[in-house]
A and B are shown apart, each in its own frame.
Chain A
Amino acid sequence: MVQYGKVSSMQIVLTLVVCKLFAVITYTPVYTEKAEITAVFLGGVVSTLILLAAATPVILLFRKTQDDILTLSYRLNPGFGFIVFILLLIGVLAAAVDTMVDFQFFMVNAVFPDASRFIILITLMIAAFYASLMGLEGIARTGTILFLIVLIALVTIAFTLHNRINLLNLKPVLYEPVKSILSVAWQDTARNMELLIFMMVVPNIKGKAAKSLLGYILLISVLLCTISFLVATVLGEFTFRQIFPFYMIASVVDSKIIRRFDAIHMTLWVITAFLRTSLFLLTATSLLKRVLPYHIGKWSCLFSSVVILVAAGFLSGGLQSSNLLYDFIGKGYPFVILIVLLPIILLLNLKRISPSASKNREQQRKEEKPE
């Protein structure tokens, strides 16, 4: 996203954390391989380690370069760069579509059962479109504020649930089948599509990109473990009867002033879905603008929004189609190809991607008309 201004590393980390929280709070164990509840919690812990291991090539790559993944791929080989562009675009669009489908699935099941799914998709897309038009800086600054709001909400939920935590729901660790723990851990890890955004945003980060990525991984791991812990200890095995366990524990919260918090916590979903969709849309727009000529590229945002909206509208029509992308991403194919293999390939060929070649390309990019 070279055409956008610089954002601080704290801003981008907090924004990506809020995005990732969407995947965490919409996690539905109902559709995953059957596991004990302790595995759900332990899986969250183990996924931190897997993520650190899987993201190591990314960290090492961006310790040495401040260019984004697409630039590096093109520098390696234009043909390879084009393939990477296609894969990145599909990955980013798929993540955006998945976000919208999951969000509308949540809204029409938990909040507005009689509402039209199109109105939810369209309104979310309008908001995301506006945000992506405003650019990376606007989204990143908004993300910083939203992180505080989300954190306050999570702390409130955790605090009000403290007397409902039943540690007996967590069974002894060593007696849990390793396979189920790893299965849950892999599911959690594979849903880190935010790293795609990160790999494209690197040139726009003020400060060290690798450090930002580490910060993101640690912060999201803490939040993931906390939320998994809350879900596991409050609901226990009952988790597997819930499509949205986190929403369930938010509904259990009770206070003297407001009897129900679930409609308020719906805003958590809205915030995270909005930010996630905006960022993926922005990334898709940036990818298209890099490749297409200016007079076509300026319509990239609109084109991407329409594609995402149509795909989401189509997939959200049925129960099986709604889970299609969710399962696909959960299995880890995009994660392995784009976030593990691609950085490894570039890391192995880092010496071939010379700084002088990057300077020439920078000059070419500056000559392009601004947005």
Chain B
Amino acid sequence: MRRFLYKIQSEGLYNTLFGISEEKKKPRTAPESKISSNLLENVVVMQERLKGSSDFNVRELEIGGVKLDIFTNEGMTNIQTVNDSLIKMVDHFKERNDATAEEIYQFIETKMLFAAEMKDVYTFEDLFKMMMSGFLIVLIDGVDHAISMGAQGFQFRSIAEPTSEANERGSKEGFTEPIKINMSMIRRRIKSDALHFEMLKVGDTGQTDVCLAYLDHVVSPKLLSSIRTRLSKIDFKLILNSGYLIPFLESVKRSLFSDVGYTERPDTVCAKIYEGRVAILVDGTPFALVVPYLFSENFQSIDDYVHKSYYATAIRCLKYISFIITILLPGVYVAMGTFHPELFPPALLFNIVSSQETTPFPMTIEALIIFFIYEIMREAGLRLPRPVGHAISIVGSLVIGDAAVTAGLIGSPMVIVVALTAISSFVVPSLQEPAAFLKFAFIIIGGTMGLYGIALGSLIVMVNASTLTAFGVPYLSPISPFSGYSMRDIFFRAHLKTLQKKEVRIEELNGVHIDSQE
């Protein structure tokens, strides 16, 4: 009984009654098995493990009297490279029948230059990891380890313009799926030995490559430690997307805003790294994560630094206003129409009243319906094939824009509010999730409690955002807590000559308290 009560206290009542015990939560892993010097034994183990999977190829060779097997993954290894290596070996040892395993091994280690990366592998687990990453594996009879050679030749999407972050005058390169390509894109832009890539493996089954990219002399060691700690707690078997890591990296579980940013642009990543942040690249995803990510960064883009400062400032302010319009305009409109019509200018009020005369629903319900229809159309437009996309836009404009208004289901001012809100939401796409939720929340609050409710709701959102810290950095920094010199690039963009005088470092913002143990 006492043990039962203790269990409730430590694990909670739900877990005690319905949950899985701690022991059962540990994954079953086989003990690591070492590679032997007997080629036949190794081949048997390989065949047992691979179970005849058809994407693996094995080539048995005898070179200079020594037997060796070459294992490759079809589709991931460059066949030309394999052939070249074989030809070279055959050519070198063609006159000899008495070569030793050691000689073959040394030849491969020292003379084969086609592979820039070459690594000795001592266990089968490591062997499979390398083989499934596109490495060529050589097992030599008489050598108690395998040689993995970088001969990747898998097909991947070429570097293209980023689809989610368009820009006017910046680079048109975006990340692709292979992590090595992405690392090279960053390296090309920061030609400094301080740029460090730290590789990790995440996911028991997937063993996905995850790379932490940072500048040694700028990043906070506590920040790095904190990131490693959080990544180590990931219990997923398979990481298919960088988004899987986000919940584990976020500081607060339930918050409207995310303190983990993402980008498809290498130039943006470089800029963030330079401020002391850490970029997290995930193999198989063209989106890099950036931590810590602050609220003000949602309104910054690479284009801001190619335009004149006055124009960039105007666009920056426009983005802030657009965000406020996105979350507040529908709610405020509904609140004013329902509780405070005296705030409308008379001519506008007459138009609204005229349009509302024939509509069957209250303004709140009308707003909810129309935004719900808009969300359906937006989601449909995202998923459907391109040939059909044109038809959806026509249907959408007809349904909402014309037919609904003509039929008297909704008023035309409401259509304008929806349209303006929708367009504004695309100005700051990174805040689309909280914006979508807040939009609906404020419509309901405005329709039930008027501007008083909107004011209270806004205050609660503000407190929520103020309390959030991104790895110890206040989320609303440098607005609050206020950091004077960092404000040069928040609501307005100071001249580049001014910006260059003192660089922004994330660690130096006011109120920063990074805890390496979190």
* Chain A residues packing against B (C-beta within 8 Å): 5, 7-8, 10-11, 107, 111-112, 119-120, 123-124, 127, 130-131, 134-135, 137-139, 141-142, 144-146, 257-260, 263-264, 266-267, 270-271, 274
Q: Mark B457-470, 1 if CB is under 8 A from A, else 0.
A: 00110111011000
Q: Do A131 and B460 have beta carbons less than 8 Å apart?
A: yes
B513, A127: Cβ atoms under 8 Å? no
Contacting residue for B456 out of A124, A146, A263, CB 8 A: A124
**B residues near A, CB below 8 A?**
339-340, 342-343, 345-346, 449-453, 455-456, 459-460, 462-464, 466-467, 474, 476, 479-482, 510-511, 513
Chain A residues whose CB sits within 8 angstroms of the CB of B452 once the complex forms: 107, 111-112, 120, 123, 266, 270
Contacts of A266 in B (CB 8 A): 451-452, 455
Q: Which residue, of A107, A141, A260, has the highest number of chain B Cβ atoms within 10 A?
A: A141
B342, B449, B481: the one within 8 Å of A141 (CB) = B481
| 22 residue pairs from A and B, CB less than 8 Å apart | A5-B513, A8-B481, A8-B510, A11-B481, A111-B452, A112-B450, A120-B452, A127-B456, A127-B460, A130-B463, A131-B459, A131-B460, A142-B459, A146-B459, A259-B342, A260-B343, A264-B343, A266-B455, A267-B451, A270-B452, A271-B455, A274-B456
Contact B463 A131 (CB under 8 A): yes
Q: Which residue of A lies closest to B468 (CB)?
A: A138
Q: Which residues of B contact A145 (CB under 8 A)?
A: 462, 466, 476, 479-480
C-alpha spacing A263/B339, complex, angstroms? 10
How far, in angstroms, from A145 to B474 measured CA to CA in the complex?
Answer: 14
A135:B451 contact, CB within 8 angstroms: no
Most buried by A among B342, B467, B510: B467
Among candidates A7, A134, A263, A271, residue contacting B451 with C-beta atoms closer than 8 Å: A263
Known: A127-B459, A137-B466, A137-B467. 11 other contacts (CB 8 A): A8-B482, A107-B452, A112-B450, A123-B452, A127-B456, A134-B464, A141-B467, A141-B511, A142-B459, A145-B476, A271-B455
Distance between Cα atoms of A112 and B480 in the complex (Å): 33
Q: Are B462 and A142 in contact (CB under 8 A)?
A: yes
A141 contacts across to B, CB distance below 8 A? 466-467, 474, 476, 480-481, 511
Contacts of B467 in A (CB 8 A): 134-135, 137-138, 141
Top 3 closest A-B pairs, CB basis? A138-B467, A141-B466, A270-B455
Residues of A within 8 A of B346 (CB): 259
Closest Cβ–Cβ distance, residue B161 to chain A (whole Å): 37
Q: Once bound together, how far apart are the Cα atoms of A201 and B453, in whole Å?
A: 30
**A260 and B462 contact, Cβ closer than 8 Å, known pairs A5-B513, A8-B481:** no
Looking at chain B's contact residues, the main secondary structure is helix
Chain A residue numbers with a CB within 8 Å of B345 are 257-259
Nearest residue (CB) in A for B479 is A145
Count, A-B residue pairs, CB within 8 A = 94
CA distance A141 to B474 in the complex (A): 9
Q: Which residues of B contact A134 (CB under 8 A)?
A: 463-464, 466-467
Shortest beta-carbon distance from B468 to chain A in Å? 9
Identify which of A5, A127, A263, A266 gathers the most chain B CB atoms within 10 Å of its CB: A263
Q: Which of B455, B474, B480 counts the most A-chain CB atoms under 10 A from its CB? A: B480
- Which of chain A's residues have a CB closer than 8 A to the CB of B342? 259-260, 263
Contact (Cβ within 8 A) B482 A144: yes
Cβ-defined contact, A138 with B343, below 8 A:
no
Best-surrounded residue of A131, A135, A260 (most CB of chain B within 10 A): A131
Q: In the complex, which residues of chain B have a beta carbon less than 8 angstroms from the beta carbon of A142?
A: 459, 462-463, 466, 480
A64 to chain B, nearest CB (A): 27
Q: How far is the CA of A274 from the CA of B463 in the complex (A)?
A: 11
Give Cα A130–Cα B464 distance, bound, in whole angstroms: 9
Using Cβ atoms and an 8 Å threshold, which residues of chain B touch A139? Answer: 463, 466
List of A residues within 8 angstroms of B455 by Cβ: 266-267, 270-271
CA gap between A197 and B459 in the complex, in Å: 20
Q: What separation, in Å, do the CA atoms of A5 and B512 have in the docked complex?
A: 11
B466 to chain A, nearest CB (A): 4
Closest to B466 in A: A141
- Which residue on B lies nearest to A124, using beta carbons? B456
Contacts of B449 in A (CB 8 A): 119, 123
Give Cα A10 to B342, complex, Å: 38
Which of A124, A137, A142, A145 gathers most chain B CB within 10 Å?
A: A142
Distance between Cα atoms of A260 and B450 in the complex (Å): 16
* Residues of B close to A124: CB separation below 8 A: 456
CA A119 – CA B448 in complex, angstroms? 11
**A216 vs B346: C-alpha distance in the bound complex, in angstroms?**
42
**A contact residues around B343 at 8 Å (CB):** 258-260, 263-264
CB distance from B25 to the nearest CB of A (A): 27
What's the Cα separation between A8 and B510 when bound, in Å?
Answer: 9
**How many Å lie between the Cα of A325 and that of B455 in the bound state?**
26
Chain A neighbourhood of B474, CB < 8 A: 137, 141
Q: Which residues of A contact B340 (CB under 8 A)?
A: 263
Cα-based distance from A355 to B451 in the complex (angstroms): 51
On chain B, the residues within 8 Å of A260 by CB distance are 342-343
The answer on a CB contact under 8 Å between B453 and A271 is no
User: Chain B nearest CB: distance from A141 CB in Å?
Assistant: 4
Q: What are the residues of chain B within 8 A of A263 when measuring CB–CB?
A: 340, 342-343, 451
Q: Are B511 and A8 in contact (CB under 8 A)?
A: yes
With both chains docked as a complex, state the minimum distance between the C-beta of B413 and any C-beta of chain A, in angstroms.
Answer: 16
Q: How far is the CB of B323 from chain A (nearest CB, A)?
A: 15
Distance A258 CA – B340 CA, assembled complex (angstroms): 12
B513 contact set on A, CB distance < 8 A: 5
Closest A residue, CB atoms, query B475? A141
The chain A residue with its CB closest to the CB of B451 is A263
**In the bound complex, CA of A127 to CA of B346 (Å):** 34
Closest residue to B457 on the A side, CB-wise? A127
- Cβ–Cβ < 8 Å partners of B462 in chain A: 142, 145-146
Q: B residues within 8 A CB of A8?
A: 481-482, 510-511
